[in-house]
């Protein structure tokens, strides 16, 4: 895809709890003008623009080098604005909005015609989310329009959980970054498609699917997408990838994962490891690059550190990264999903 000349990327620090009105005003003006502003949400950083402006939306695809067939999430500040972006919302959508918005849940509904078509990448549906982060809230309210915002990373890279990650990927391609510190959840929203009364999990994420099922008192379908016919492009098999080769071994005992990493290291490869806090001895002393994600049972913490850890290992020059598996409930489902997609060795 053709890109324009590099543009100056302004970086503004912003208080994540009570955002400075002058900074919000400046960012909101850029968004209304169809420019690109990266901002923190409680899941990951988003790259926002005016969702009603087709040219603006195409700028996002160009800046990210994003596949034009991969649709964007539209962010609104208030659940009451749902009817401005979705053509219709069945009762179950309102029930979920009531319980989980603002928060890390994205609902896919029928698209309102005022939303710029490229947002939906040719579909009749649109993904919608109400973020909770005070900066995102203030920015969308001040802008006064729905904001299309994918994760603020280059296509196929892990999502950005800090402003530095955003700049690593998008410096010179976007107009502004609001630096509100690290995103707290550190993993993207859960994406749920609603078609009449039918619910399908398109992407496990920040809100555990079990919690959604408990709220509704029924099961949510979890499709197995094929690369040829994904029900959501986010389900493409290879995605969220670090530059290094990731070897994900979810069924292997941790000691054997460590042994495999030691072998790669001994063979001369610059080797990284993704582990829990208590795993193995002091492997750094042996020359391995180790990222410890938290206690193995604390899946929310592990999820929140996962993308930053992958980026840190990339930055340290890892050629190969070995990753252990975690339990697959709660945030563990999203952890497994992202590691599986980022890896080249599926088991
Ligand atoms: O937490 C998040 O969701 C972050 C923050 C910034 O909100 N956003 C994010 O956006 O992760 P993105 O574009 O990286 O991922 C959006 C996911 C993709 O898997 C996309 O395919 C799916 O949502 N999606 C968007 N619109 C869709 C639609 N109309 N139908 C099916 N899937 C859709
Ligand atoms: Mg993304």
**CA 16 / ligand 2 centre spacing (Å):** 22
What pLDDT is recorded for position 155? 86
Q: Is residue 31 within 8 Å of 145, Cβ to Cβ? A: yes
* Interval 58-82 mean pLDDT: 96
- 295 vs 1, residue with greater confidence: 295
Atom from ligand 1 closest to the CA of residue 104: 1
pLDDT of residue 214 exceeding 50, the answer is yes
Span of 7-16, 36-45, 221-230, 268-277 with lowest mean pLDDT: 221-230
Atom from ligand 1 closest to the CA of residue 111: 29
Q: Pick the ligand that lies closest to the CA of residue 235.
A: 1
Q: What percent of the chain has pLDDT over 90?
A: 88
What pLDDT is recorded for position 228? 46
Pocket of ligand 1 (CB under 6 A): 41, 43-44, 46, 70-73, 106, 108, 120, 123, 125-127, 129, 149-151, 188-189, 191, 202-203, 232-234
* Interval 27-41 mean pLDDT: 98
Identify the residue whose C-alpha is closest to ligand 1 atom 19.
234
What pLDDT is recorded for position 4? 60
Helix (H, G, I), strand (E, B) or coil at 150: coil
Total-model pTM: 0.95
Going by pLDDT thresholds of 50, 70 and 90, the confidence category of residue 68 is very high
**CA 135 / ligand 2 centre spacing (Å):** 19
Give the relative orientation of helices 332-342 and 299-315 as an angle to the nearest 10 degrees.
20
Compute the Cα dihedral for 114, 118, 124, 127 and give only its sign.
negative
Going by pLDDT thresholds of 50, 70 and 90, the confidence category of residue 5 is confident
pLDDT of residue 347 exceeding 50, the answer is no
Identify the residue whose C-alpha is closest to ligand 1 atom 18.
234
Residue 50 pairs in a beta bridge with 147
Site to substitute for ligand 1 among 200, 234, 238, most atoms within 8 A of C-beta: 234
Going by pLDDT thresholds of 50, 70 and 90, the confidence category of residue 232 is low
Average pLDDT across the chain, whole number: 93
325-338 tens-digit pLDDT: 999 999 999 999 99
Helix (H, G, I), strand (E, B) or coil at 189: coil
Q: How many CB atoms lie within 10 A of CB 144?
A: 10
Report DSSP state, residue 79: G
Atom from ligand 1 closest to the CA of residue 235: 19
pLDDT of residue 141 exceeding 60, the answer is yes
**CA 18 / ligand 2 centre spacing (Å):** 27
Atom from ligand 1 closest to the CA of residue 119: 26
Going by pLDDT thresholds of 50, 70 and 90, the confidence category of residue 42 is very high
Going by pLDDT thresholds of 50, 70 and 90, the confidence category of residue 233 is low
What pLDDT is recorded for position 19? 98
Identify the residue whose C-alpha is closest to ligand 1 atom 20.
234
The token duo for 142 is: 């001040």
The token duo for 255 is: 């000691």
d(CA 44, CA 244): 22
């Amino acid at each position: 895809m053709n890109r324009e000349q590099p543009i100056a990327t302004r970086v503004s620090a912003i208080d994540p709890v009570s955002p400075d009105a002058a900074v919000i005003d400046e960012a909101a003006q850029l968004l209304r003008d169809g420019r690109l502003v990266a901002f923190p949400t409680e899941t990951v950083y988003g790259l926002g623009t005016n969702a009603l402006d087709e040219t603006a939306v195409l700028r996002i695809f160009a800046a990210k080098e994003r596949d034009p067939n991969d649709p964007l999430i539209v962010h609104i500040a208030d659940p009451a604005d749902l009817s401005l972006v979705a053509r219709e919302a069945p009762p179950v959508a309102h029930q979920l909005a009531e319980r989980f918005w603002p928060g890390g849940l994205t609902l896919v509904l029928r698209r309102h015609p005022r939303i710029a078509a490229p947002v939906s990448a040719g579909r009749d549906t649109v993904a919608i989310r109400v973020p909770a982060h005070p900066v995102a809230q203030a920015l969308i309210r001040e802008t006064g329009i729905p904001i299309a915002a994918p994760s603020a990373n280059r296509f196929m890279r892990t999502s950005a959980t800090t402003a530095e990650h955003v700049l690593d990927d998008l410096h010179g391609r976007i107009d502004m970054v609001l630096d509100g510190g690290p995103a707290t959840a550190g993993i993207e929203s859960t994406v749920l498609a609603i078609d009449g009364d039918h619910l399908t999990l398109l992407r496990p994420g920040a809100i555990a699917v079990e919690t959604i099922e408990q709220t509704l008192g029924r099961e949510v379908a979890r499709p197995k997408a094929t690369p040829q016919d994904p029900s959501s492009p986010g389900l493409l098999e290879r995605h969220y990838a670090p530059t290094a080769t990731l070897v994900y071994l979810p069924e292997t005992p941790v000691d054997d994962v460590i042994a495999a990493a030691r072998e790669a290291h001994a063979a001369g490869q610059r080797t990284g490891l993704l582990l829990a806090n208590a795993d193995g001895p002091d492997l750094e002393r042996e020359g391995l690059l180790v990222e410890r994600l938290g206690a193995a049972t604390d899946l929310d913490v592990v999820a929140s550190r996962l993308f930053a850890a992958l980026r840190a290992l990339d930055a340290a020059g890892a050629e190969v990264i070995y990753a252990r598996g975690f339990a697959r409930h709660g945030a563990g489902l999203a952890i497994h999903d992202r590691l599986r997609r980022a890896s080249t060795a599926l088991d």
